[in-house]
Chain A
């Protein structure tokens, strides 16, 4: 079974984020990027499926700073092939990037399952997997927390609010937006990553020339403004109740 996993780098929020002077983007001078946590879970789920059913895992990513480290770590964990899309336009929205990736995926060997994180913390758009499924004409299920494959179908657990879970059967090939793998992403010893760097290669694919861009632009990026404060009412319960009535009356709420 052929599994394809899409990985993306997002800002590492261990450092405080700052807005760049243009007021529309992040200041990248101290910014480091890290694999999107949900994508790391998508990779783990693919590796678990490979361990159960055999086959291959291919990881695919847009070129980005530090992406090579992430791809080599994926190879060290057990992925078979790493592909990097080069020369993609900068500042693409999630949906444009998903269309671009769909074109690249169409040129790769057919995959039975395409997995990626259900969303990423940089825009919380949550549409990558859905757009890819729509572009390739495959079914899509998001917020996935477990996958069982049986022949040409997969049984997928999907998480809903309030702890409710739904079990879905989906015909392969399909696209899954992974919320969490069945197990936490595995550790890969540094020695194995270094060995992968020596023994494996990252393949590159040029980005397709024509991609329909989404009609969204960022106009302003700003930190939340602290504008409210808490006022503690003190005194006996009766006094506090009186003050509370006064306050509510002043604000026209009584």
Chain B
């Protein structure tokens, strides 16, 4: 069951012991499930178990100085496994991470650039905000851009950054637009007015930037009339549910995967082209462990004629993070310099071991992360990476 972090913003490290969450932290029995399941638990100086121990002992400064939390990719594995139900990834670790971030005298260069870009241009890639909807010119179906055509829309499609700008992300956009069109959905995008939803800034510890982005996006949502928010971003979906809703977002929220899964009855007859693929699905942390969305993507994949689904050794709640969350997307060099294994490489080896020829994903970070990992482990001739929506669109009759 997902846990709604509606009180997360009111908890600080100072008042922690006076909150219900603080009481839960006190109940920690130091069993080490968290550190054992943490993908970087073996290399962090202070993995979650020790952080709790240090916090109880009043020794948190040592944790902050160690910068251990820079290795937290906010994959929700520790929280998912904690027998005491401590909301590590939702409450405690972000608080510690924020303090680590504020005390850093030097940020890893790629993370710094990504955050500066997100603040200045509304996307971590440093692309022109005016070009955010340029991909629309390459869409096979019409895509309405709200600032140019303001009439109310049924679905407001929040495209998100890597989807809008990354060349492979734009494949996701074109596929999603075709699927909406095939289902006859009344949809529109925010065009150049859309900025990053901010979740990865928040989980990197840059909460000030997150607040700035949520203020902006909440105001933007107020400008237009729409019934449902659908996003291509797994982290955007997560933050709309857990952070924007307590801030007043009243519309229903979907990820593209949940939206198309709910429309599977209408979609299935249109999936006529047989795709003879053996597919293994990577559960993105933000959708799976944090929001319990295990079945929907698998239902969609199973609905594609010819697709045979196989599972990796670690799947569903035991899935291994791609390493892109919590700022990890921009910390690959930092981890490499520290001698850590890249999590995307660890994961792609599991995917290759299944013998599948397609790795299906549902988070825009994962396409580039896993395509890069396939090249570095020498598997790029054996496997391709496709978003679930790309596979669905491929199966649509032309």
Which of A's residues lie within 8 Å of B, judged by CB? 12, 14-16, 30, 34, 183-184, 186-187, 189-194
Contacts and interface: CB of A to CB of B under 8 A. Distances in A.
A60 B130 CA distance: 31
B121 interface: yes
B360 to A, nearest CB: 34
Given A183-B106, A189-B102, A14 B208 contact: no
Given A189-B209, A191-B207, 17 more contacts: A12-B120, A14-B121, A15-B128, A15-B130, A16-B128, A34-B120, A184-B112, A186-B107, A187-B107, A189-B102, A190-B209, A190-B211, A191-B211, A192-B102, A192-B208, A193-B208, A194-B208
A14 B128 contact: yes
Contacts of B171: none
B157 interface: no
Given A14-B121, A191-B208, A194-B208, A186 B128 contact: no
B101 A189 contact: yes
Contact of B206 (A34, A184, A189, A194): A189
A194 B109 CA distance: 23
B227 interface: no
**Interface size, B (range):** 20 to 34
B105 A14 contact: no
Nearest to A16: B128
B212 interface: yes
Interface string B120-131: 110000111010
Interface of B: 101-102, 104-107, 109, 112, 115-116, 119-121, 126-128, 130, 206-209, 211-212
Most buried by B among A30, A187, A192: A187
Contacts of B130: 15, 30
B321 to A, nearest CB: 25
B195 to A, nearest CB: 13
Given A14-B121, A184-B109, A190 B208 contact: yes
Contacts of B119: 190
Q: Is the interface of A mostly helix, strand, loop or mixed?
A: loop
B14 to A, nearest CB: 16
B115 A187 contact: yes
Given A14-B126, A15-B130, A190 B206 contact: yes
B105 A186 contact: yes
Contacts of A186: 105-107
Contacts of B209: 189-190
A30 B106 CA distance: 33
A25 B104 CA distance: 42
22 contacts: A14-B121, A14-B127, A14-B128, A15-B128, A16-B128, A184-B109, A184-B112, A186-B106, A186-B107, A187-B104, A187-B112, A187-B115, A189-B101, A189-B102, A189-B206, A189-B208, A190-B208, A190-B211, A191-B102, A191-B207, A192-B102, A193-B208
B212 A190 contact: yes
A189 B206 CA distance: 7
Most buried by A among B127, B130, B207, B208: B208
Nearest to A30: B130
B130 to A, nearest CB: 6
A150 B203 CA distance: 43
A188 to B, nearest CB: 9
Contacts of A34: 120
Contacts of A193: 208
Contact of B116 (A16, A30, A187): A187
A233 to B, nearest CB: 32
B357 to A, nearest CB: 38
A41 B212 CA distance: 26
Which 3 A-B pairs have CB atoms at the shortest separation, nearest pair first?
A191-B208, A190-B208, A190-B209
Contacts of B109: 184
B112 to A, nearest CB: 5
Contacts of B207: 191
A189 B107 CA distance: 11
A194 B127 CA distance: 25
A44 to B, nearest CB: 11
A186 B103 CA distance: 12
A42 B105 CA distance: 18
A22 B211 CA distance: 41
A181 to B, nearest CB: 12
Contacts of A191: 102, 207-208, 211
Nearest to A32: B120
Contacts of A16: 128
A13 to B, nearest CB: 10
Nearest to B108: A187
A183 B105 CA distance: 11
A189 B127 CA distance: 21
